[in-house]
């Protein structure tokens, strides 16, 4: 076979190999299962809930739900109470097997002294050769979720080629003498 013929055959076969689907990993987050995740979705999600209001000295339950949307590897669940609180019931560190799509745990927390200003943190972590996943959740002891600062949209509406893009965000000095733009 001539060298030019061999190169022509290789040139035709190379693009075809790119169309082949990659084989899934044997286990772990990259492994496909019956609960296949759609692209862009987190493979593990942690949800934490508890009472809306807590007072000093309360003993209350915290519910933690770990949703595994992909893979079957073990996940380490860690609960970290803030100073001034104690985990009375439930394990602070637990390894969750990879067989359940959703795992729910209830923890009993004792709020000694005053209500803490820090969150009770819950994390789920798993890793293996070539992959890793980490998800967190928090219970805020009745405090509202923090909100990102939003710039006031007080400028005139911006219209480009007949399309209204909304009100502009003024940059520069504000009427009260402050600075409205990024610092």
**Which pLDDT band holds residue 157 (cuts at 50, 70, 90)?**
confident
50 is a domain residue: yes
CA–CA distance, 35 with 24 (Å, rounded to integer): 14
pLDDT tens digit sequence for 94-135: 999 877 889 999 999 999 888 999 999 999 999 888 888 999
15 is a domain residue: no
pLDDT at position 34, please? 41
Domain that holds residue 127: 44-139
- Angle (CA) 81-86-88 rounded to 5° is 115
N-terminal to C-terminal alpha carbon distance within the chain: 69
49 is a domain residue: yes
CA–CA distance, 48 with 70 (Å, rounded to integer): 20
CA 145, 149, 154, 160 torsion-angle sign: negative
Residue 170 predicted with pLDDT over 90 = no
Average pLDDT of span 51-67:
93
55 is a domain residue: yes
Q: Is 80 exposed, middle or buried (0-12, 13-18, 19+ CB in 10 A)?
A: middle
Average pLDDT of span 64-75:
88
| pTM to 2 decimal places | 0.63
Total count of domains within the chain: 1
pLDDT at position 154, please? 72
Tokens of 35: 């609960």
Average pLDDT of span 58-70:
92
pLDDT tens digit sequence for 2-42: 767 766 676 666 655 555 555 454 444 444 444 454 567 88
65 is a domain residue: yes
Beta bridge partners of 103: 66
pLDDT at position 14, please? 62
CATH code, domain with 48:
2.60.40.10
52 is a domain residue: yes
Average pLDDT of span 64-90:
92
């Amino acid at each position: 076979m001539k060298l030019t013929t061999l190169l022509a055959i290789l040139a035709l076969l190379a693009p075809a190999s790119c169309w082949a689907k990659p084989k899934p990993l044997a286990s772990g987050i990259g492994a496909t299962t019956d609960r296949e995740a759609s692209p862009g979705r987190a493979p593990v999600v942690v949800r934490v809930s508890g009472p809306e209001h807590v007072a000093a000295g309360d003993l209350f339950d915290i519910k933690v739900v770990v949703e595994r949307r992909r893979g079957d590897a073990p996940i380490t669940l860690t609960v970290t109470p803030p100073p001034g609180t104690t985990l009375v019931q439930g394990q602070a560190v637990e390894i969750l097997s990879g067989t359940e799509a959703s795992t729910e745990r209830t923890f009993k927390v004792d709020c000694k002294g005053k209500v803490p200003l820090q969150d009770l943190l819950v994390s789920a972590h798993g890793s293996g050769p070539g992959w890793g996943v980490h998800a967190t959740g928090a219970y805020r002891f009745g405090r509202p979720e923090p909100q990102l600062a939003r710039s006031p949209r007080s400028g005139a509406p911006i219209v480009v080629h007949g399309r209204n893009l909304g009100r502009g965000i003024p940059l520069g000095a504000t009427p009260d003498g402050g600075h409205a733009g990024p610092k």
